[in-house]
Structure 1
Amino acid sequence: MSETSDPTSQILLVAILALYWAMLGSWSQLLSRWNDERAKRDTAAARRDESAEHTSCADTPQDALREIDPDFDLGAFLSGARRAYEAILRAFAESDIQTLQRLVGPEVLDAFERDIVGRRDRQEMLELTFIRTDETKVVDAFVENGTAEIVVRYVSDVVSVTRSADNAVVAGDPWEIVEMIDTWTFACQTQSRKRNWMLIVTEGEQQQA
């Protein structure tokens, strides 16, 4: 009886072939994953090269800001941004222009002042009550032409009511909680030793909670 017709040899040959195909399949999957990871790395590198002139990073804005401030503290900035958000909106509701002048840039201040003057002319009063601020998140940051800018997204629950001189409700509902979603841009001069962030752009929407 030849060696190839021996049942034991045939079983051994089948086992070797099965092991070979299993290893080949595993190697093919490994190679595919390696190619995918390499493609991802190449794409990320290309994107970094394309954004060299305009540095922007939503997940880690420290990378952009540490170019001009190695000690930039994102946590401290967000804490201050949350306080500024509530302080600016309260000052706007209370027609406190003096406070607004310290916290917002000229264009935003001009828009706020027009609204405040309009309320005064109509003898209306805006009541704003913060329930909570659910989110304060940096969504973009960049440095350009000597100015650092950080874009912050806020999600908050508030009660907003506008009343007339005789206390009648003109807009809003004192019993309705409204979800406000705002995207604000803060800026400061990179040459300044003291980081005095000013609100320069506001975008917002509101939804019923």
Structure 2
Amino acid sequence: MNETIDPTSQILLVAIFAFWWAMLGSWTQLLSRWIEEMAKRNDASTRRNGSIELASSVDTPLDALREIDPDFDLPAFLFGAKSAYEAILRAYVDEDMPTLKRLVGPEVLDALEREVSGRRDREETLQLTFIGTRQAKIVDALEEDGTAEIVVRYVSDVVSVTRSADDAVVAGDPRQIVQVIDYWTFACESQSTKRNWMLIATEGE
């Protein structure tokens, strides 16, 4: 049976892939004009689906954020923070060190490299299924010695399992969805015209 391929469907798939790839590498220029426009375009739908908690952000230290940047765009930052969270976790699972080097600071990178190296030595495989991020909320912000720092609290649902070389489960449960709460600190030079936010610290709850 002959099948025809709809050119429109091909174009749509290419467009979706291009958008995903652009978002993966865009965190280092989070407040660039392209990201801001994308965030504004999706702001209304984001408020409805609740994947980023904007309403509760009024009780975050907005004054500190405005001191860091009078034009600070909160929806754009949270939109980028959520994308960075998922991209960094996926890169860690996939042992994609080039991507991690673009998104995280030296101390975090060193810790992740040690974890990846340990997995390889034990011949273990980490599998992660991202169900979704329920919340991405700024809980702290400060500026010190020319560096701006913002702490984001994430609440996400994942399925995580670590398997041995013979495919036995050594950690996690492939049938259980686990809620994960993380506090990630992002930093950049406060006077920089390009907001190159990097992950510099992580903490779980």
Q: 1:61 and 1:201 mapped to 2: Cα distance? A: 19
What code does the residue aligned with 1:135 have? Q
**Where does structure 2 lack aligned partners over 5 or more consecutive residues?**
1-56
The alpha-carbon deviation at position 191 of structure 1 amounts to 2.0
60 and 203 in structure 1: CA distance in 2 versus 1, 3 angstrom threshold = closer
The alpha-carbon deviation at position 58 of structure 1 amounts to 7.8
What code does the residue aligned with 2:138 have? V
1:104–1:198 CA contact under 8 A, matched in 2: yes
2:101–2:109 CA contact under 8 A, matched in 1: yes
Q: 1:60 and 1:140 mapped to 2: Cα distance? A: 7
177 and 60 in structure 1: CA distance in 2 versus 1, 3 angstrom threshold = closer
Q: 1:64 and 1:163 mapped to 2: Cα distance? A: 44
User: Which residue of the partner structure matches residue 174 of structure 2?
Assistant: 174
- Per-residue CA shift, 1:99-122, capped at 9, x if unaligned? 100000000000000000000111
1:58–1:138 CA contact under 8 A, matched in 2: no
Alignment of 1:49-68 (within 5 A): 59-68=59-68
The alpha-carbon deviation at position 70 of structure 1 amounts to 1.8
1:58–1:140 CA contact under 8 A, matched in 2: no
User: Which residue of the partner structure matches residue 142 of structure 1?
Assistant: 142
What code does the residue aligned with 1:158 have? V
What SS is found at the alignment partner of 1:67? helix
Normalising by structure 2, we get a TM-score of 0.70
1:58–1:139 CA contact under 8 A, matched in 2: no
User: Which residue of the partner structure matches residue 188 of structure 1?
Assistant: 188
1:58–1:141 CA contact under 8 A, matched in 2: no
User: Which residue of the partner structure matches residue 110 of structure 1?
Assistant: 110
Q: How many residues align?
A: 149
User: Which residue of the partner structure matches residue 14 of structure 2?
Assistant: none
**Where does structure 1 lack aligned partners over 5 or more consecutive residues?**
1-56
The alpha-carbon deviation at position 170 of structure 1 amounts to 1.1
The alpha-carbon deviation at position 168 of structure 1 amounts to 1.3
The alpha-carbon deviation at position 135 of structure 1 amounts to 0.8
User: Which residue of the partner structure matches residue 151 of structure 1?
Assistant: 151
What SS is found at the alignment partner of 2:59? coil
What SS is found at the alignment partner of 2:102? helix
**RMSD of equivalent CA atoms:** 1.5
Q: 1:137 and 1:76 mapped to 2: Cα distance? A: 12
What SS is found at the alignment partner of 1:170? strand
Percent of pairs with identical residues:
74
132 and 68 in structure 1: CA distance in 2 versus 1, 3 angstrom threshold = closer
What SS is found at the alignment partner of 1:137? strand
Normalising by structure 1, we get a TM-score of 0.68
The alpha-carbon deviation at position 64 of structure 1 amounts to 1.4
The alpha-carbon deviation at position 59 of structure 1 amounts to 2.1
Q: 1:80 and 1:200 mapped to 2: Cα distance? A: 16
Larger Rg: 1
User: Which residue of the partner structure matches residue 82 of structure 1?
Assistant: 82
What SS is found at the alignment partner of 1:153? strand
